[in-house]
Amino acid sequence: MKVAVIDLRGSESPNQNTLRVDSDCAVAIFVGHGTRQSVCGYTSQTFPRLPSVKVIWLYACNCGKKLIKEIAEMHGNVTVFGYTTNILAPTTGPIELTVAGDIKDSLEEYSGPSITSHILRHVQDRLLKEAVRDIEKAKAQRDGTMLMVAALINHTRLSLRFAEYHSVQSTSPADSLVQSTLHENASKDSLVAE
C-alpha cells in the first residue's frame, strides 16, 4: 500500500499546497495538533478532497471523537482513523521516530484486503508487538525510558477509532435507508467514532 505522510506540525493555518499527495497513494497520514473539530486548523468543511486516498489517518489528539466521523460523511467512500485521547508525540523531529512512523511502516507492508477491520487489526497487532518488544528491552536493560515508550505505543493503539461512510448512488428510498443504517450501525462498534 502506498502511504503519504503529511507533517502539519507547526502549521497554524490551512494551506492547500501542504496537502498534496501522489495520485497513486491509497493512504494519507496527517500528523499535527488536533481537537474534536479540527486538525491544524482544517475542519471537516475545509479538509481537502484527496481522490486517490481511501484511508485518511489523523495522527493528532482527540480527532477520533467527532472530526473523523464528519470527514468520512463529507468525503464519502473513505475510512478515517483518529484518536479519542491526547497522544504524546514530539512537535519537531523526523516522523520516522514517532508512532506515526511505525503506523506508516505497518501500512506500507500490509498486503491484505482493503477491509477496514483487517487494516485496523494489522496495525494494532504490529503496534502491540512493538510495545511488548520494548517492555522486554526495558526489563533486560532496566531502562524506565523503554517502559515509557511501550506505554505510549500501547496507549496510542488503544485510543484509535475509525469512521467510514459509503454513499449509495441511487434515488431509491430503500437505498437511502441502507446508507443511513450502515452509518448508524458502524457508530455502535467500540472501535468506531461516537
Q: Is residue 91 in a domain?
A: yes
What is the chain's alpha carbon radius of gyration, rounded to the nearest angstrom? 17
Between 154 and 178, name the one with better pLDDT.
154
Residue 121's H or E segment, with its range, is helix 116-141
pLDDT tens, 39-50?
A: 988 899 988 888
DSSP 18: G
Instruction: Output phi, psi for 171, to 5 deg.
Output: -100, 0
Task: State mean pLDDT over 19-32.
Answer: 85
H or E element in which residue 73 lies:
helix 67-75
127 is a domain residue: no
- Domain-located, residue 148: no
Q: How does DSSP classify residue 4? A: E
Residue 192 has pLDDT above 70, yes or no: no
- Is position 75 within any domain? yes
Global pTM exceeds 0.95 = no
27 pLDDT more than 70: yes
Residue 41 falls inside a structural domain: yes
Residue 150 lies in a domain: no
How many domains does one find in the chain? 1
Which pLDDT belongs to residue 50? 86
What is the pairing mode between strands 160-165 and 78-83?
antiparallel
* DSSP state string for 80-108: EEEESS-----SSS-GGGSHHHHHHHHHH
Residue 175 resides in a domain: yes
Residue 149 domain flag? no
The whole domain housing 182 covers 3-111+160-186
- What are the tens digits of pLDDT across the range 68-81? 999 999 888 899 99
